[in-house]
Amino acid sequence: MLMLASQSPRRLDLLRQLGLDSLVLEVDVPELRSAGEPALDYVHRVAREKAGAGLLAVASRPGVVVLAADTEVILDGAVFGKPADAEEAAAMLRRLAGRTHRVATVVWAVSSARETSACSVSEVTLAPLDGAAIEAYLATGEWRGKAGAYAVQGRAAAFIAHLSGSYSGVMGLPLFETATLLRQHGVNV
């Protein structure tokens, strides 16, 4: 049985693209970067903590595989998580506009017998954005709950000048890497 330790509807939809249905586990893992913690180490740690919390929640169920992921936008060593409000979202978009940043998604698949992980790092270049474009995007509300304050699969696609890497990874769950991990755990993909 596959359990997804995530409240992200996008991750659930992406798993369905692989032909998989999973039960959703609600896990509460603080997403706080430690002082001096390298950006990729942070993404790995948070994803692993989500997977571990999910596995603890279902430890009494045999044969369960828990899948968890974390996605962050990284620019100049700074991690752009989910903005708390529209003001923070606007500040993120202003910093990302006209520049290339990385989107890192780390996926963990864990069971009582095994732990495996994969990392997908993509490069995304946003076009230059003026204040009016940012305000119009913020008005859509699409930025809420999105690392870096944008959704590649939504209206922000019009801002993406270039993407090198995994489109599904930028959305929040790199499908190639996820399918590979799940096969290692005996999940038919």
β-strand pairing of 160-164 with 115-126: antiparallel
* pLDDT at res. 117: 98
- Residues 74, 76, 79, 84, CA torsion sign: negative
- Provide Rg for the chain, Cα atoms: 17
Residues with pLDDT less than 50, the chain: none
Distance between CA atoms of 159 and 103, rounded to whole angstroms?
15
* pLDDT at res. 23: 86
Query: pLDDT tens across 6-45, in order?
Result: 988 899 999 999 999 888 998 989 888 999 999 999 999 9
Look over the chain and give the mean of its residue pLDDT values, rounded to a whole number. 95
* pLDDT at res. 62: 87
Enumerate the active-site residues: 70
- The fold for domain 2-184 equals Maf protein (3.90.950)
* pLDDT at res. 21: 86
What are the extents of the domains in the chain? 2-184
